[in-house]
Amino acid sequence: MEILKVSALSKPKSVAGALAAVLREKGTAELQAVGAGAVNQAVKAIAITRGFVAPNGIDLVTIPAFAEIQIDGEERTAIKFIVGPR
């Protein structure tokens, strides 16, 4: 599964375009975000992506979960969003 990392500075429309491309190619994708700002941008991107793929008959479902990831040798807790068709 393709993992897209989202930061607080990510532009939701750009993330949405990348997410839509991955969904069309592979069917499912995972967004990872660390921090409130990054989670906010990820949620906005998922909402925008729904509008991008809806004309193709794809209804998106998102499953949120926690993930432990390494950043600069330090373990951090991220929110991951598994996104795929209903």
Query: What pLDDT does 83 receive?
Result: 96
Query: What pLDDT does 56 receive?
Result: 87
The set of residues, in sequence order, having a beta carbon less than 8 Å from that of 51 and lying 6+ positions away, is none
Would you mind telling me the total number of residues written for the chain in this entry? 86
Domain locations along the chain: 2-85
Query: In CATH, which of 3.40.109.10, 1.10.600.10, 1.20.1250.20, 3.30.110.20 is domain 2-85?
Result: 3.30.110.20
**pLDDT, tens only, 2-41:** 899 999 999 999 999 999 999 999 999 999 999 999 999 9
- Would you state the torsion angle of the CA atoms of residues 14, 20, 23, 26, taken in this order, to the nearest 10 degrees? -70
- Burial class from Cβ neighbours inside 10 Å (0-12, 13-18, 19+) for residue 26 reads exposed
Mean pLDDT for the stretch of residues 44-67: 94
Query: What pLDDT does 12 receive?
Result: 97
Instruction: Look at residue 1 and tell me whether its pLDDT is greater than 90.
Output: no
